[in-house]
Every structure is written in C-alpha cells, then in structure tokens.
Amino acid sequence: MRRARRLRAVKTPAIGVPAKAANAGEPSSLPLAVLLQHCADAVRAVRGGESLNAALERCPGPARAGTQALSFHALRWLGSALAVRTLLAPRAPPPEVDALLLSALTLLWPGASAAYAEHTVVDQAVLAAKRQAPRSAAFVNAVLRRFLRERDALSAAALRDPAARFNHPLWWVERLTLDWPQHAMAILQRANQHPPMHLRINARRMTAPEYVARLAEQGIAALARGAQCVTLHEPCPVSRLPGFAQGEVSVQDAAAQLAAPLLLGHGLGPGSRVLDACAAPGGKTAHLLELADLDVTAVDRDGVRLQRVSQSLDRLGLRGRTLCADAADPHAWWDGTPFDAILLDAPCSASGIVRRHPDVRWLRRASDLEAMALTQDRLLDALWPLLRPDGRMLYATCSVFKCEGQDRIDAFLQRRHDAGVARRPASPGHLLPLPDNEPHTSRAAIASPGDGFYYALLEKLAV
C-alpha cells in the first residue's frame, strides 16, 4: 500500500492553496505546542509515504489552517532539519519524536523565516513532547538547545549534504541537474518559495481587466496577465473573491491555463467532440467549456476526484459529460465515435508543482519516474486511435523532468508514423517555474511565472 501511494499521480488542486496556508509558521490562536503535535503527525505520515492532503484530513478543523502552515514550512526545510538532526542524534529517535524534533528544527533553521521566537519554539516543542511522549521531553529539550548554541557550526556541517542544501532528495537534485544544468539551482531555490495565486476568469462572464477592477473595489490588489488570467498580489480565501460562488472565477495556475487555448487554437466548431482524459479535478475541463461550445467527455478512474469535476462545472454553470473509467482502457468505455480533439493531462511525478505540494519531493522515488513513463506511454498509445484524422491531441504533464515530457513525445513519434507536432499554435514544450525575466538559452527551457509544465500539441496525419 505504501508503494502504491507513492506512485499515485498528483495534479494541481482545483482551488489552489488556501490563503497564507503556505506561510512559515504564522501565529495562530491555538498554542504552538498543539500545532506542533499535529504538524509532527503530518510530517511523520509523509515520511511514511502518505500525501500531506490525506494527513491533514485527520487534523481537527480548528487546527487545520495553522497545522497546514507549519507542515508546509517543515516539508520545505525537511532536508536541512534531517541533516542537522543526524549530526545531533545519529541514532534516530522513535518516529513520533523524530517528526516533532524535525518540525521544531525547521523553525529554528537560519534563514527559514519562521514567525516564532527561538525560546518559544523550544518551550512549545518540549511541551508537545511531554504530551505526546513524556520520556522524550528532556531529549528534545537538549537537542534543540544544543542546536541553538552551536547553530552556525552545525548548519555549516549539515549543508555539505546536497539534500540539506537544496531540501530535495539527492536523486531529484541529480536528475534536475542532468536535465537542466543551467537552470537546476534556480528551480530548486524557487521550489521553496511561496507560490503565487492565479485566477482564471470565466470568459463567458467577463475579462481579466474587468475582474481586476472588481477586486480593487474589494481592496484586493491584482494584475491581469491576459484576457482570462489574473495574479493576486497576496493570496486570499476564495470566500473573499467576488463572484466565486456564482461561477465568475476559478483558481488555476497560470501555466495550467495554457492547456485549453492550445487545444482550441486551430479552431473547433460548436459541438466538436473533445475528450479530457485523466480529467480530475476538472480545471482544464471547465476552461475548455468556458472558451467554446463543445461536447466534452471528462474521464477519470478516481470516482471521488471525478465528483469535483461535476461540482466545478455546476458552480460555473457549464455542462459536460463525466465518466469514471480507466482512460488507458478505451475498449471498456469508448462508443467508437472518433474525437475531434483530446487533452491528455497525464499522471506524472508532479515535480513541477512542489511549491504548492512540498510533500511531493519526499514521497517520490527515482524508480517512480520509470513507472510514470510507462503509464504515460500506455495512455498515449491507447488514446491516439480514438482521434479522428486531422484531429489534435495535447499531451500535458506538470513535471520538470524530461523523461515525462520531451522524451515521451520523442519516443511516441518514433512509434507512430501518423503523428506529428502541430506548427500552429506552436507547442511550448517544457515550462520551467522561474520568473518572467529569467534568461534562457534554449526554446526547450522557457521560463514561466506559474508551475512547471510540459505541453506538446500533436496532430494526426493522413497516411
């Protein structure tokens, strides 16, 4: 079961990160000791192979926001904390104590920008230990106080470990360096920064500049990034977004918003049949229907996540067909009528969205990439026959690894003589999660203000 959870693909959530949920240990109305206990439970769960979202679902409601903030912080700095804990206590304590100790160390790590005073962190961590594992309280106190006394020397020693220096597993650092030698360090640093909150404005209701004006009336500063994309200066709860409940706006990363316009770029007439494969949670499904009157079928094998597609369409006042099925087994669900266009948002490592999901880097293993690549190949091969001649397929992954992007398409084009890369609109290829003004020397490494993505627009050739 643990292995299966690691292999489970992660996709960008439909509503993004709650306001300030990713900020480092912001003060809460609950005592820090309580939040540290819940944070330690979450960190322990992630180290055991469970997603952070699943772990947080067990957290009591009043403590969830504060726990999420601490957990995001702890997972972003976990590599550093683990290295220094190994120096201080080479023999790991019991898992529940270790998770608490690691969580506290991330709040004391130099440069981590935690919002609590050092003595508060130590005192509250000891109090949490007394409640959770009373016999370990003295040990926790001794380790944390020694770290504060010798912090400069211990930090310098810990940073000799690349996993501590970059707060990613060593294999991840090595793979990224191999794929993007000129950009790897910037990508790793960017992964520990708080992600921006992007909005997608419902094209059937208004434009991005019009919505920016509405936000300004509510005292919310934002920037229009085109006809439908808006970036907030500061994240905020969706409850504060005017018109959210009425379907005027959704939360979706800027890079993810490229999918629907790319697939529709060559023009699809009203009623065109479009397949959104691996569709949950449904942001791209909704975007397609916002832009054109299409006959969209959204397929996903996860029935629970598929419900979110229907809920999103209902909120936006859109109509589409949802189908719980394995997209890679079309014989079980396809009616035999070809599709005019297919969006394959393939399961992947989610390496491009670690700013929003800091647990991903600790859940994945190097061997997972090979398994993901096999799944991506299987989906490409299974869905291509469903496309009509001259139809187009958009292959997308939220990954920065070439083995889940360009390598997969290169291999597919070698297998299929009736497939080619569309020229208009041009495929973006790999989008790296770097600032707009980040210099790049190759079209294969385009900077993006949003998440890391890969897009390839393919067309079916006559043979």
For residue range 299-308, what is the model confidence (pLDDT) as tens digits?
999 999 999 9
SS3 content of the chain, % helix, strand, coil (to 5): 45, 15, 40
pLDDT digits over 37-85, tens only?
Answer: 999 999 999 999 999 999 999 999 999 999 999 999 999 999 999 999 9
Per-residue model confidence (pLDDT) at position 16: 33
pLDDT digits over 229-277, tens only?
Answer: 999 999 999 999 999 999 999 999 999 999 999 999 878 899 999 999 9
User: What is the bridge-based pairing of β-strands 295-300 and 429-433?
Assistant: unpaired
From the list 395, 388, 385, the residue with the least C-alpha distance to 273 is 388
CATH of 18-160, one of 3.40.50.620, 1.10.940.10, 3.40.50.10890, 2.60.40.10: 1.10.940.10
Question: d(Cα 168, Cα 177) in Å, to the nearest integer?
Answer: 12
Please state the pTM of the whole predicted model.
0.90
Question: d(Cα 312, Cα 329) in Å, to the nearest integer?
Answer: 26
Query: How confident is the model over 107-124, as a mean pLDDT?
Result: 91
Question: Which one is predicted more confidently, 342 or 424?
Answer: 342
Question: d(Cα 200, Cα 191) in Å, to the nearest integer?
Answer: 23
Grade residue 29 by pLDDT with cuts at 50, 70 and 90: confident
From the list 30, 49, 76, the residue with the least C-alpha distance to 358 is 76
Establish whether the linkage from the previous residue to 425 is cis, with ω within 30° of 0: yes
Q: Taking all residues of the chain, what is their mean pLDDT, rounded to a whole number? A: 91
Question: d(Cα 25, Cα 41) in Å, to the nearest integer?
Answer: 16
398 tagged catalytic: yes
Per-residue model confidence (pLDDT) at position 332: 97
Q: Residue 150 burial by CB count (10 A; 0-12/13-18/19+): exposed, middle or buried?
A: middle
Residue type, 316: L
Per-residue model confidence (pLDDT) at position 445: 55
Fold of 256-460: Rossmann fold (3.40.50)
pLDDT digits over 341-357, tens only?
Answer: 999 999 999 999 999 99
Q: What is the DSSP string of 217-270?
A: HTT--EEE-SSSEEEESS---GGGSTTTTTTSEEE--TTGGGHHHHHHTT---T
Per-residue model confidence (pLDDT) at position 28: 54
Spell out a b/e string for 108-120, using b for 16 or more CB atoms within 10 Å of the CB, else e: bbeebebebeeee
From the list 368, 382, 373, 438, the residue with the least C-alpha distance to 407 is 373
Grade residue 19 by pLDDT with cuts at 50, 70 and 90: very low
Rounded (5°) CA angle 306-310-358: 50
Per-residue model confidence (pLDDT) at position 437: 35
With beta carbons less than 8 A apart as the criterion, state whether 81 and 161 touch: no
Give the contacts of 368 (CB within 8 A, at least 6 positions apart). 6, 7, 349
Residue 387, strand partner residues: 339
End-to-end CA distance of the chain: 45
Catalytic residue among 229, 278, 398, 403: 398
Fold of 197-251: Alpha-Beta Plaits (3.30.70)
pLDDT of 447 > 80? The answer is: no
Beta strands in 272-414 (DSSP E): 273-277, 295-300, 321-324, 339-345, 387-397
The residue ranges of every structural domain in the chain are 18-160, 197-251, 256-460
